[in-house]
Amino acid sequence: MIASKTELSVEDVACHYDELDRFYREIWGEHVHHGLWLTGRETGDQAVLQLVDLVAEQAMIRPGDHVCDIGCGYGATARMLADDYKAEATGLTISPAQYRFAASKNPGSANPRYLLMDWLKNDFLPESFDAVIALESPEHIADKAAIFAEAYRVLRPGGRMVICVWLAKEQASGLENRLLLEPICREGRMPNMGTELDYKGFFERAGFKFDSFENLARKVKKTWPICAWRFLVNLCRKPEYMRYLFNQHSRNRIFALTMFRIWLAYNTGTMRYGIFTAHKP
């Protein structure tokens, strides 16, 4: 487990997404997660939808299933599950800015429903869901074992948990830790970054039956040159981007550099990207 070496609170993570709200929506769009390139010819918009489809397939989501999306961001995945898969979707976020945007997309509708809530402080009844998913949110939670304990508690027997997470390579070198992994954790407001073996252990200790793992790094890393290019274009065209970068009170402006650091980490094999699937016996 690679740690950021900086103590981070839930509020720190929420502040990151609130402060960068406009930039995330303009650069990433409503899906704040990687895209999945299966042929290499997809557009960025097609690629992000393909990742959600893969998660839904692994979670075996069927019409009427109750699905919880941990760290739902702007709610795009939950909306896709409700609209395309006819599931009953619940999305959780700790970011007020993300919550307001998600709620504004389907006012008055009960599906999806969005909650401004910390996953580790949820009040869901036991065995409330048929599936629990998380697309790149476990990285922001320090107590990773508790993520899986809660998922096990709220899943019905036979229910599935599918997560997509950023991963550190096993036995990263000291140089890789200092120059890439630790700064990425710190600047991306991630208390720590696990490895494949770490996450398999979290599943198993929570009581899950582990089903599968796939390293998707080669198929998702194209996300970062696309986002970096969008950032540079906006930097040239929109004065507010430059003002933000040179404002000493901008707490999260370093993430502009982190995008390029992540791109390098994928290309050197220092970072991986995994999809894990498990079920509750």
Coil, helix or strand at residue 263? helix
The 10s digit of each residue's pLDDT in 124-158 is 999 999 999 999 999 999 999 999 999 999 999 99
Q: What is the pLDDT of residues 70-102, one digit of tens each?
A: 999 999 999 999 999 999 999 999 999 999 999
Q: What's the mean pLDDT in 21-36?
A: 95
Q: Which element (helix H / strand E) includes 4?
A: none
3-state DSSP assignment of residue 267: helix
Strand partners for 279: 160, 209
pLDDT in the model for residue 8: 81
Is 80 exceeded by the pLDDT of residue 226?
yes
- pLDDT, tens digit (0-9, with 9 covering 90-100), for 103-114: 999 888 899 999
The domains of the chain, with CATH numbers, are 2-279 (3.40.50.150)
Q: Which residue type sits at 31? A: H
Q: How far apart are CA 152 and CA 161, in angstroms?
A: 8
Q: pLDDT at position 5, please?
A: 60
Mean pLDDT of 152-178: 96
| pLDDT tops 90 at residue 3 | no
Taking residues 257-268, report their average pLDDT. Answer: 93
User: Per DSSP, which regions of 146-208 are E strands?
Assistant: 155-168, 192-193
Average pLDDT value for residue range 188-211: 96
% the chain with pLDDT above 90: 90
Indicate the pTM of the whole model. 0.95
Per-residue tokens: 98: 């993300």
How confident is the model at residue 6, as a pLDDT? 67
**If we measure between CA atoms, which residue out of 121, 97, 102 comes closest to residue 252?**
97
Q: Which residues is 273 bridged to in the sheet?
A: 166
Signed CA dihedral, 263, 134, 23, 94: sign only: negative
**What element of type H or E holds 153?**
helix 144-154
